[in-house]
Amino acid sequence: MIQHPKVGKWFIPQALRMAIKFLELFLFYYNRSKRFLHLEKKDGISLRIRLENLYINSHITQKKIDWLHFGFATVALRRENIAGAIRAKMSTSLRGYDINIYPLKNKGCYDTLWKKVDKIHSISKYLLKKAEKDGLSKEKPNMIIKPSIDIDYFNGLQKSKSFDFSENPIQILTVARLNWVKGLEHSIEGLAILRNRGIRFNYNIIGEGVECERLKLAIYQMGLEDCVQLLGFIPHKSLYNYYQKAHIYLQYSLEEGFCNSTLEAQAMGLLTIVSDAGGLVENVVNEKTGWIIKKSVPRQLARTIEDIIKIDISKLNQISSDAMQRVRLGYALQNQEKQFCEFFNEDY
């Protein structure tokens, strides 16, 4: 007799676990479970999906909390009614993937969430405005709390940099997922133009992702194998060695929510070049703490780097210093902690 693998190895234990969980929910959390199923029914959700959603939210159903916060909007999907069921307020954060990427293949995915959420946290003004274009009410209470970094840690790592490019190759760095949204092909194309103009550089790209093979091909086709390296995944604690060695940090994205790596680069005093994509324009003060240039124009990227290396060293040192100071004053973890306390405590 042949036994179906799902029945023998997975289906029965899983079915038993689900049965026990439902029994627990309706014995000890009957009112909350009933409210959840009722709210789901009002949203037109089928009985099967309602029961699935009740099961996957069972760990929350048992909690006694005032606020239920989802760190990513995508995490709140299929959980839009759980806060109402347990009589808690609900909030969610808007981040780059949530707003720039996920809705591209999932139109209207947040329609229910926008109605049910009590308050919105966004890491940039750009993402909030984009969410409003996608159906979030402008009247919905919200707060912009930008990302932060451990300033004390970075202060301990900072070393003086030399921006004398007359003899040594420029050291350029990007830390990013190998994904089309990061604009890495345009970065490589811009650097190929720079190479053809006789400017020497080494470009390290740290990160992994689905575009790895495509980027390797681009590097090969543009003849940059000796000066562009895909270094793959590197633990966060080891990244700082690369920040210390680099002169220029490049974030030439097509879309970006804000970008912590750009903050870290500025905290380390790198000359930072970003595209005008999304929240990056809120991350850098153009020509004061870095440079903001039009996305998807490799020739402008090449020209900008060429212009930077011609700038007087004292001016470059000032931009580096101003970048470190701005991050130190505006993006410390202590500031973010205070802002989140205000987010959850203020009346609205």
pLDDT, tens digit, 9 for 90 and up, residues 36-86: 999 999 999 999 999 999 999 999 999 999 999 999 999 999 999 999 999
Q: What is the mean pLDDT of residues 309-321?
A: 95
- Of 300, 295, 302, residue with least CA distance to 278: 295
Contact 323, 266 (CB under 8 A): yes
Check if the beta carbon of residue 293 is closer than 8 Å to that of residue 276. yes
190: Cβ contacts below 8 Å, ≥ 6 apart: 252, 298, 299, 300, 301, 302, 305
The distance of Cα 138 from the centroid of its chain, to the nearest Å, equals: 23
Mean pLDDT taken over the chain:
93
Helix (H) or strand (E) holding 226: none
Q: What is the pLDDT of residues 232-271, one digit of tens each?
A: 999 998 998 999 999 999 999 999 999 999 999 999 999 9
Instruction: Kindly report the length of the chain.
Output: 348
User: What predicted TM-score, i.e. pTM, was given to this entire model?
Assistant: 0.88
Assess whether pLDDT exceeds 60 at residue 6.
Answer: no
Q: What is the pLDDT of residue 9?
A: 53
Using the predicted structure, report yes or no on whether residue 183 has a pLDDT greater than 60.
yes
Contact in structure between 73 and 98 (CB atoms under 8 Å): yes
